[in-house]
Amino acid sequence: MRTTAAILLSLGLLVLATAPSATGPEDWENPALLHAGTEPPRAAFVPFPDAASALGLSPKESPRFLSLNGDWKFRWSPSPAARPLDFWDPAVDVEGWDEIPVPSNWMFHGYDIPIYVNSAYEFAPNPEPPFVPHDRNPVGSYRRAFAVPEAWEGLDVYLHFGAVKSFFYVWVNGMKAGFSKGSKTPAEWNITRFLRPGENVLAVEVYRWSDGSYLECQDFWRLAGIERDVCLYAAPPVRIRDFEARAGLDALYRDGKLAVTVELGGEAAAASSAHIVSMTLLDPAGKRAASARRAAAVLEDGRTIASFEATVPKVERWSAETPALYRLVLELRDPGGKVLEAVTARTGFRTSEVKNGQLLVNGAAVRLKGVNRHEHDPVTGHVISEDSMRLDIELMKRSNINAVRTCHYPDDPRWYELCDEYGLYLVDEANIESHGMGYGPASLAKDPAWGPAHLDRVRRMVERDKNHPSVIIWSLGNEGGDGVNFEEAYRWIKGRDPSRPVQYERAGLEEHTDIVCPMYASIEEMLATVAKTPNRPLIQCEYAHSMGNSTGNLQDYWDAIESHPQLQGGFIWDWVDQGFAAENERGEPYWAFGGDYGPADVPSDANFCCNGLVAPDRTPHPALDEVKKVYQYVDFAPLAPGSGEIEIRNRYDFISLERFDLLWELTAGGKALATGTLERPNAGPAVSVVVRIPLPEFQPEPGVEYFLNLSLRTREAWPGLPAGHVVASEQIALSPPPAQGAGTAPGPESAPRTLAVEAGPRFIRVAGDDFSVRFDRLTGSLDSFVHEGRELIASGVEPNFWRAPTDNDFGNQMPRRLALWRRASLHRELRSLEIRQSDPGEATVAVVYSIAGGQTQTLEYTIAGDGRIVLRSTLTLRPGAKLPELPRFGLKMAVPRACDRIRWFGRGPFESYGDRKTAAFVGLYDMTADEPFPYVSPQEYGNRTDTRWMAVRDGEGRGLLVSGDPVFEFSAHPYWPEDLTLERRGAKHPPEVPERGFVCLTLDAAQMGVGGDDSWGALVHPAYTLPAKDISFTLILRPLGPGDAPPS
C-alpha cells in the first residue's frame, strides 16, 4: 500500500470527521447528494498480478483481493439522535459491543423488525420526499479491524461494498472516506491515503431510511444492513479501471465481432499513454481465438483508453440454449514491459435487438418463458448464497424457464455470472420504484430535482453489468410513474449501450420503451395492444400472479402468445414465496409473512409477499409442474389415432432434437402395456418432423382406456439439466373417453342378494350379507357404512358447494360474492327422506333439501345387495332464480383416520384444477392423506381432476372405492373446507388450523378454476366457472375388503 500521504492528511481529515454538520439538509435527506468520495461505477471484476494467476485462480483467490466478510462489532440505535457519535474513532473502545455477521440484515440478529408492504412507504404514511423520520429511523454502527497484506506495498487499496441499504457513511482510521446511497449497486473508495501499517480500523454507519428510500418502494420485505460482500482489492497506481467487452455478431449472425475498450485509471492514468494493454480471447475449449496489443491513448475527454477489435469466424454463439462462453484476458504493462496487472472475464457472442416488431436474439425471434425473481432467503433475508442462486437456476432450467427479470433491482454480481454459465436471459432492472408517490403530478419521475438520482441508479446498473451476455434487455425500473426522468434515462442508455433494447412498463406505448411490457394484461388486452403496435414486441413484465393456489389459465395465455409473432412471452409473478422461517410456541414450523413481526401500527400487506412458484425453501409448488409443461419447447401431435405417427415440432431456437431421446409408453387402465425409445429425433431448430412409434398390436378391451405417454429426455447432462431429464412430455388418448352410464352398469351376474330394510323413528337401516348403511332422519345424512364389521364413514355424506377461498378468491371478493353457497353448505332444510324398495335386492333412499333461498338439492342413493351404492346428486333451481356461480358442486364425507392410503385413476400425481391441469396426465397414482400443505396460508388445496375412480384404504386394505360416472374430482386430507376458510387473506398460518381426526373427502362434479390473471380482482375465466343452473352428477360407492382390487 502507499501510505506516504496518509500521515500528512490525517489531521485535516480527522477534523472534518468530527466537525458538526453544516446547516442544511442531512446528507441522507438530500437527493442532490448521491455519493461522496466514491470511485466511478465500473464492471464487476477483481484484479490479479498477471495473466497466469487470472486464469488459474478464482477472483476470491487473487493475491490482490481481501474479504472483509465476517463478524463485525455492532451497535443498533433506534434513531439518528441515539446513535454513538464518535464510534468511528479508533480510540473509542467497542469491545463491549455485540457482534453481527457481515453481510446480513440486522433484523435477523435480534435488532429491529422486518416490514412487508407492497406499494406504500413503510416509514411515511403521508410521504414528504426527501424527508424521512428522525425519531424512528434506525441506525446500525459497524466496526472492524483489518491489516493490509505486506505484498500490497506500492499498490493502491480500494474498499468495496457490494450493497448497503439504504445510506451509509464510511470512516477509515477515524477519517471520513465519504458516503453512498442506492442500495443494490456497489460503492467503492480509494482508501490508500487513510491507511497505516499494521492494524486499521473501518467504521460504517448505516441508516435504515434515507431520501434514497423514496426510490426503493418495491413490493418486497423492507430490510436494512450491509447486504452483500465487503472487500479490499489492490491495484497499481496506473490500473485497469474499467473495461467493456461488446461481443456481437456480423450481419449474417455467423462470425463474432468483438470490440473491447479498456479504460486506465489511477493518479497517473492521464499521463500513461506509454502503458501497454494486451488482449487475449480464449474459446470455450481454452484455445486462443484472438489476441492483440495496444498502447493506451489519452482522449479529448481526459480518459486513457486502449481499444481492440477482432473477428472470430464461425463463432460459438451464446444463447440461453447454447451458453458458449469465451474467456477474455486483459494485461497491463508499463512502458518497460513489466506486467502490472491483469483482469479476466467470461463473455459470450450474441446479439439482442428489436427488428420488424420482434425481439431477436442472434437473429431468432425468441419467446421469453420468464419469471420475476426477488433475492430472498428464508433465513438470511436479502443475503443470498451462491448455493441458493445455483438451486434457483437449476430449478428454473429444469422447468423450461429461460428468462428472469431481476425485479426490481440489480442482483448480486455472482447471479449474472451464473446466468451466463447456465444460460438464462435477463432483463436487468434498475433499482427505481417510487410507487408510493403514485403516477400523477406528485410522481418523482416528473420532478427534475430527482433526475440525477434516477440516472445515477440506471448508470450504475449498466456500468456494472454491461459485459454479461445474459443481460439482453435493460429495464429502467418498476412502477415509478413516468416522466422526464425516465425519458432522460432511456436516452442515456441508448447512447451508452446501443447493443440492447430498453424497456419500461410505465412508458406504455410511448417511444422511450423499445418493448411494450405491460403488467397483468388479459389475453384480450394483449391481442388488442399488439394490433396497435406493429413495430414493437409485447412481452409482459409481470403476468400469471402465482399467489397461493393459483397460476390457472397459463395454457390459454400461451395458446394466444404462440398465435402472434409479436407476442413473445412474459415473466410470471413470481419465483419464490417471500416467507421467513419461523416456529410457533409449540415448535411447529411455518412461513412468516407481513404483519408477523411488528405491533399493530406497523404497516403490512400480509401474505401478499408470497406469490411464488416455489416455497421459501425452494420446495416446488404444484403450479411449477404446469409451468414446465406450458413452457416446454417441443409439441407433439398425433397424425392418425392409433397409427403411431406423431408430428414433433421443435420450438427451440438454436438446438436440434438430436440432443434428446424420445421415450414412449403405452398404458391400459393406467398400467404399462409396452415401452420403447426413439433415439435422437432429427428435427433442427424451429423444424417439425414426423416419427412413427412402433406400437404393438393389441385388442382393446371394453371399458379400458389406452394412452400413449411421450417424454423427451436429455441424452447427456448439459447446463442445469442432468442426463435423462424430461424436457417435454405429452399424453395422447388412444381410446374414447369414458362414457356416462358405464360406471353404473351392473357387474357380472351372481346369486341374488337380499336386502333387509329397517325404517325406525330416527334412523333408516339397509343391510346386506356383509354390510349395512344407515341414514339419519334428522339430517338426511348417510352417516354409517359398515362392511365386514368395520365402520367406513367417520362423518356422514353432505352436499357441498363451498371451497376454502384461495388468495385469488379473496382478491375478487369471492367470499362475499358467493357467500350464499357457503351458507348452503352449512345450513339446509331437510324437506323429505323417503325409502323405496321394488326389488328385494335393491333399495333407494331419496333425500331432498331446500337450500339457498328455496333451491332444491336431491341426493338419491340406490343400494344394491352387494354393497354397491349409486349416489346421484341433483341441484334444481327455482324458475327464474338468478344466483352467482358455484365454487363447487359436490359432496363431502369423512372416512376413519386409518384409511389414509389413497390410490386413484385420473389426473396426477400433483393437484390439478379445471384451468391448471395441462401437466397432469391421466394415470394410476398413490398418495397419503398426510400430503403436505403446499401454501403459506390456509386455503383450498389438493384437488384432483378427471378422476375415474379413487380408493381410500387402511393398512389392512379395508376401505371405500368411489367411482365416477364418468369422472369426478376429489381431495383427501385432514381438513373440511370450512376449516381452511379464513375471514381475510393471510389471517392464519397452517399450524393454526387443527387437523381433524379423520380423512375428509370432497367428491365433486366440478370445482371452479383457481384463476391467476391477478390476485386483486380478476375472476376465474368463464370456461372454468360453474354457472348456477340445474346440474347433476353420479358417484358409485363400494366397500373394499383386504382382498378386493379396485378396477383395472
Contacts of 801 (CB under 8 A, 6+ apart): 821, 822, 824, 825, 851, 852, 886, 887, 888, 889, 890
Contact 565, 357 (CB under 8 A): yes
Q: pLDDT tier at 1048 (50, 70, 90 boundaries)?
A: low
Residues 572-592, mean pLDDT to the nearest whole number: 98
**Over 60: is that where the pLDDT of 12 sits?**
no
Residues 282-298, mean pLDDT to the nearest whole number: 97
Q: According to the model, what pLDDT value does residue 747 have?
A: 47
Contact 235, 158 (CB under 8 A): yes
In 283-424 the beta strands, taken as DSSP E runs, fall at 288-295, 297-298, 304-312, 326-333, 339-347, 352-355, 358-361, 364-365, 368-372, 403-405
Q: According to the model, what pLDDT value does residue 270 have?
A: 58
Q: According to the model, what pLDDT value does residue 746 have?
A: 47
Q: What fold characterizes domain 796-1040? A: Beta-galactosidase; Chain A, domain 5 (2.70.98)
Q: According to the model, what pLDDT value does residue 8 have?
A: 29
**Over 80: is that where the pLDDT of 3 sits?**
no
Q: According to the model, what pLDDT value does residue 24 have?
A: 77
Q: According to the model, what pLDDT value does residue 13 have?
A: 29
Q: According to the model, what pLDDT value does residue 642 have?
A: 78
Q: According to the model, what pLDDT value does residue 739 have?
A: 81
Tens digits of residue pLDDT in 443-456: 999 999 999 999 99
The percent of residues in the chain predicted with pLDDT above 90, rounded, is 93
Contact 386, 284 (CB under 8 A): no
Parallel/antiparallel/unpaired status of strands 782-787 and 771-776? antiparallel
**Over 90: is that where the pLDDT of 794 sits?**
yes
Residues 202-229, mean pLDDT to the nearest whole number: 99
**Over 80: is that where the pLDDT of 23 sits?**
no
Q: According to the model, what pLDDT value does residue 148 have?
A: 98
Compute the distance between CA of residue 407 and CA of residue 428 in angstroms, rounded to an integer. 8
Q: According to the model, what pLDDT value does residue 271 have?
A: 57
- Domain positions in the chain: 4-37+61-233, 239-347, 361-628, 632-733, 796-1040
Under DSSP, is residue 181 helix (H, G, I), strand (E, B) or coil? Answer: strand
Q: pLDDT tier at 554 (50, 70, 90 boundaries)?
A: very high
Q: According to the model, what pLDDT value does residue 1043 have?
A: 87
User: Would you please indicate which residues are annotated as catalytic (active-site) residues?
Assistant: 479, 542
**Over 90: is that where the pLDDT of 92 sits?**
yes
With 0-12 / 13-18 / 19 or more C-beta atoms within 10 angstroms meaning exposed / middle / buried, residue 334 is middle
Q: According to the model, what pLDDT value does residue 1045 have?
A: 82
The percent of residues in the chain predicted with pLDDT above 70, rounded, is 96
Cβ count within 10 A of residue 339: 17
With 0-12 / 13-18 / 19 or more C-beta atoms within 10 angstroms meaning exposed / middle / buried, residue 387 is exposed
Q: Which CATH superfamily is domain 632-733 in?
A: Immunoglobulins (2.60.40.10)
Region class of 357: left (phi > 0), else alpha (psi between -120 and 50), else beta: left
Tens digits of residue pLDDT in 324-348: 999 999 999 999 999 999 999 999 9
Compute the distance between CA of residue 715 and CA of residue 773 in angstroms, rounded to an integer. 56
Count of positions (residues) in the chain: 1048
**Over 90: is that where the pLDDT of 752 sits?**
no
Q: pLDDT tier at 556 (50, 70, 90 boundaries)?
A: very high
Q: pLDDT tier at 598 (50, 70, 90 boundaries)?
A: confident
Lowest mean pLDDT segment, chosen from 17-26, 63-72, 682-691: 17-26
Closest-CA residue to 545 (of 1040, 1031, 1023, 1011): 1011
**Over 50: is that where the pLDDT of 5 sits?**
no
Q: According to the model, what pLDDT value does residue 849 have?
A: 98
Q: Which grid cell sits at 214?
A: 423514496
Widest pairwise Cα distance in the chain: 112
Tens digits of residue pLDDT in 401-442: 999 999 999 999 999 999 999 999 999 999 999 999 999 999
Q: Helices 523-532 and 554-561 sit at what angle, rounded to 10 degrees?
A: 20
**Over 80: is that where the pLDDT of 114 sits?**
yes
**Over 60: is that where the pLDDT of 1028 sits?**
yes
Domain 4-37+61-233 listed as CATH 3.10.129.10: no
Contact 132, 29 (CB under 8 A): yes
Please state, rounded to an integer, the average pLDDT across all residues of the chain: 95
Tens digits of residue pLDDT in 361-371: 999 999 999 99
Residues 536-557, mean pLDDT to the nearest whole number: 99
> In terms of CATH architecture, what is 239-347?
Sandwich (2.60)
Lowest mean pLDDT segment, chosen from 260-274, 615-629, 903-917, 955-969: 260-274
Q: Which CATH superfamily is domain 361-628 in?
A: Glycosidases (3.20.20.80)
Q: According to the model, what pLDDT value does residue 18 have?
A: 30
**Over 70: is that where the pLDDT of 636 sits?**
yes
Residues 1008-1030, mean pLDDT to the nearest whole number: 98
With 0-12 / 13-18 / 19 or more C-beta atoms within 10 angstroms meaning exposed / middle / buried, residue 942 is buried
Residues 531-537, mean pLDDT to the nearest whole number: 95
Q: According to the model, what pLDDT value does residue 108 have?
A: 98
Tens digits of residue pLDDT in 916-944: 999 999 999 999 999 999 999 999 999 99
Position 448, amino acid: P
Closest-CA residue to 1030 (of 817, 820, 873): 873
Compute the distance between CA of residue 639 and CA of residue 342 in angstroms, rounded to an integer. 60
Closest-CA residue to 506 (of 479, 532, 529): 479
- Judge whether 361-628 and 632-733 match in fold: no
With 0-12 / 13-18 / 19 or more C-beta atoms within 10 angstroms meaning exposed / middle / buried, residue 838 is exposed
Position 1013, amino acid: D
